[in-house]
Structure 1
Amino acid sequence: MKNIDLGLKASSDEQQIADRLKYHPNVFEFYTSETDFSRDGLKKLAYAIDQVKDFGVKQVILHHPMRYQEYFTELLTPEDKLPQLYRFIEQSSLDLLQLGFDKDVQVLIHGSYSRQTNEFLALYPNLSAAEEYVYQRLDHFQELGKEHVMFENSISPIFYYGDAKIDDYILAKNYRLAFDTSHCFIKWQGDNEKLVAALTHLRKNVVHYHLVDSLGATHDSLEVGKGKIDWQRVLPLLNENATNIFEIVLKDQNDAIEQVNSYKYLQNLKGE
């Protein structure tokens, strides 16, 4: 059974980093935002990576920014219709991948989001054309990032886990995968059987987990143990070589207690 990492998430904000490091995590994930991709923002992010690694954290992940202005950073974005958004997605990904190689850290890119997906899908003749375009983008970043890039599942109609045919296609692509447990659970309306099947099917390609609970209806990002995911069944199915963090909604961004409580819950469940 996988050893559960004390994996914490923060921005490059000094107060957030200090809070996370006091718990001595062994995995650290930075969530980034549009402001991180100015010249000064990238310098600050690079410094924060060094700070965390100097503290002794060996596994660091950089989460691609979720938003640019009023848009989510959908890989569906067509260059000809939304050139500014497209350029931000491309350049921010290149910036993170450069940091990935320079600092020997990992970069996480979302295959899709959900809140604006239908707006982007309307820019394509059909779902198949949209899917084909997204896989072309994923192939592009896979080629650039190699062992430094991974792709996370959505709850949208694009790039989700749990459909056996789609999972087979993803495996055939040999993508390095980030598996968000709550996203899969919500996609299938709280079906633990679907979650268990997807975890089993994709296990060998998963390099990183977001261990997050949910009631299975909305994107609630609950503390582990406070939702309906059957963690007793999930734990034995995790790839032993993968890292993990707890991507939980915090009451206070400067206090990671809900993330730490999630770690303690799984440790207790394992009897450790």
Structure 2
Amino acid sequence: MQSLKSETLVIAEIGINHNGSFDLAKKLIDQSAAAGANAVKFQIRNLKEIYNEKIISDPNNTQTGSQYIFNQLVKSEFSKKNILELFDYSKKKNLYVGATPFDLKSLKFLKKCINKIDFIKIGSPDFDNIPLVYEAVKQKKYIVLSTGMNNESEIKKILNIIKFNKNLTAFLHCCSSYPASESEINLKFLNKLKKITTCTVGYSGHEKGFFPTLMSIYFGARIIERHITLDKSMAGPDHTSSLSFVEFKKMVSTIRKMDEMSKINIHKYLFKNFKINKNSIFVGSGNKVINQNVMLNKSILSKSLVFKKNLKKKTILRKEHLELKSPANGVSYLEIEKFLGKKLKKNVLKHEYVLTNSINSKKNNLFKNFNLKKKWGLVTRLGDLEDYIDNKSDLIEIHLTWRELVRGKIIKNFINKDLIVHAPEYFNDKLVDFTTDDKKITLNSLEMLDNVISFAKNISNNFNISDNKGPRVVVHPGGHFENFTNKVNLKKKYINLSKNLNKLNLNGIRLLIENMPPYPWYFGGKYYNYIFTDPKEINNFCNEKNYKICFDTSHAQLYCNKENLDLVNFVRKIKKHIAYFHFSDAIGVDGEGVQIGSGNIKFSRFLKEISDMDLGFIPEIWQGHLNNGKGFDIALKNLKKILGKIGTKKKCHH
């Protein structure tokens, strides 16, 4: 490959934007060449090597995001013959060829055709996949590593592995949101990345448009990687954060002009032509913070340690007992030394996640004997229901994924707990929205909720329902947009919401509309929500249409932070409409699901305000289910301490 001393290396990421079509893949290569890219990059996977056995046998056996990604990857697989043909086709177009192997078997395939590729890319999800990085470095090819999901200390640990290949290594800064919002991008970290690694640095962009990508060159990026797509509206996880041919071509032509300029002239040029400079919001502070959305994407896309086979109690753990599988619901390979040489404290099954309690003799009594002065419960996926019923909780919330809903599951036993059913946010891999004018989205949303209502009614006899109308069903109203807009007709949105909900037969259930955050995370990226965020609007709608709500403390606090409002005043305005609670903390305007006591909510003041209400709640802590529900347990204990200090009154049972 070129020395990178002359011009910026521009990589067109084909990824899975071909959607499994060989012809589309060739068109993407054609357009990459025509747009002026130096290189194209492909993704190579062996799904059986990447995923936990349970997911391979039943893709519904995981969280929504993992279900979506897995199904997209299945549709996008190419044969080895096709992949080699695409490599050759790219070479004929005078393009460098790179590939990202997502597992050791895929890397082994690349080793067999190593002369057909010019560089190996390690994606952000596998940055801390030490066995993969180590084997990739051994190939003596140019190695490019993305750092989007890892902090500074983790980057420093990887340096020890690549030190003997340092002259052939580059590190890319990126933000692993799809698409990335400007406030997340933090281009100034490129300065720190260069200092930490002393290697070539670059930028892998996932933002809409390419202005931050251009500015990254001012901060020292010598490699630029962007996804290219034939159509941004196509199905698939990467199209919305990709560039069209026209955009890609314009970006490359601009970069070529900048390659001839000094740093100070680059800055002047960008400000004159694009009105961007080193003070633009996407420049950031230079401090690397892994935000909640990136952590969520990491849990879906990365891998963590699992047991390679069934092992007996007292087995002394060795490396050969462990391997990495996706999704990342356990510990990183970077923590493997904590487990090696330790005795197992229990029998473990093949592909069971490695957790601290695997080697810790302390018994797992989370939730078992937990008592609280208010009705409390836990949230679970339908597939994990049995794991969350052996405790003293008063209720259970089943948060459905759309594939679980379609597949269905028979609940045979009686569960002596109240039931809440949370409707999926997606149906047929499309976002649900009851406020839209789009007929297809409306019909899809109504079909989903109709199915959820039927599901809730069908299983209600297996639970101890407290509400006289039947099981409570929580739904998100919609009202979201991918991009900021100031042209939202709020009145029309609320009319649509009412009109569409009126089409449903709500007999036998109580429908609860959940208050929304200003910036929800969907499809791995940040959206803008415009309805059911403001307390006055919520109050007016509920008064007029006689609906109750599920009050989410985190969502409400995020809106309060954005609008400089007080949470307790927010609650007072809509208190009479609340019929159920989600409790978690919040940070800033988009940090939701934070552990109780770790964010901006003054819970003692809030809980005093609702001390006369005992409607039931769950701790909705982000990733609270990991490590056998450790996050939920911490939240409940934190709440118990606060409630113990302020006292509660059990009065109100709406």
When the two structures are superposed, what TM-score results if normalisation uses the length of structure 1?
0.80
1:154 aligns with 2:516: yes
> Who is 1:32 aligned against?
400
Output the CA distance in 2 between the equivalents of 1:128 and 1:191. 20
3-state SS in 1 of match to 2:574: helix
Alignment of 1:1-272 (within 5 A): 3-13=373-383, 16-38=384-406, 41-42=407-408, 44=409, 46-47=410-411, 51=413, 54-57=414-417, 59-80=418-439, 83=440, 85-102=441-458, 103=460, 104-112=470-478, 117-119=480-482, 126-141=489-504, 144-145=506-507, 147-155=509-517, 156-162=529-535, 164=536, 166-189=538-561, 194-238=566-610, 240-250=613-623, 252-253=625-626, 255-271=628-644
Output the CA distance in 2 between the equivalents of 1:97 and 1:88. 15
Amino acid at match of 1:168: N
3-state SS in 2 of match to 1:229: coil
Report deviation, 1:34. Answer: 1.5
Any idea what the Cα deviations from partners look like across 1:17-71, whole Å, max 9, x if unmatched? Answer: 2332233321110111121232xx22x1x41xx54xx2321x1111111113443
Output the CA distance in 2 between the equivalents of 1:252 and 1:146. 30
Change (3 A) 1:33 1:254: farther
When the two structures are superposed, what TM-score results if normalisation uses the length of structure 2?
0.35
Change (3 A) 1:254 1:25: farther
Output the CA distance in 2 between the equivalents of 1:184 and 1:70. 27
Output the CA distance in 2 between the equivalents of 1:189 and 1:70. 31
3-state SS in 2 of match to 1:255: helix
Greater percentage in helix? 1
- Where structure 2 has 5 or more consecutive residues not aligned to the other structure, the ranges are 1-371, 461-469, 518-528, 646-654
Output the CA distance in 2 between the equivalents of 1:146 and 1:119. 35
Output the CA distance in 1 between the equivalents of 2:590 and 2:637. 25
3-state SS in 1 of match to 2:600: coil
Native 8 Å contact 2:374 2:614 kept in 1: no
Native 8 Å contact 1:75 1:111 kept in 2: yes
Any idea what the Cα deviations from partners look like across 1:177-207, whole Å, max 9, x if unmatched? Answer: 1100111111122678532112122222211
The number of residue pairs the alignment matches comes to 251
Q: Whose Rg is larger? A: 2
Change (3 A) 1:215 1:3: same
Amino acid at match of 1:118: F
Amino acid at match of 1:110: H
Output the CA distance in 2 between the equivalents of 1:230 and 1:166. 22
Aligned-pair identity (%): 19
Output the CA distance in 2 between the equivalents of 1:139 and 1:237. 33
Any idea what the Cα deviations from partners look like across 1:49-95, whole Å, max 9, x if unmatched? Answer: x54xx2321x1111111113443212124453xx2x43332122112
Native 8 Å contact 1:62 1:107 kept in 2: yes
Over aligned residues, Cα RMSD in angstroms? Answer: 2.9
Amino acid at match of 1:136: K
Report deviation, 1:230. Answer: 0.6
Output the CA distance in 1 between the equivalents of 2:420 and 2:400. 11
Native 8 Å contact 1:221 1:247 kept in 2: yes
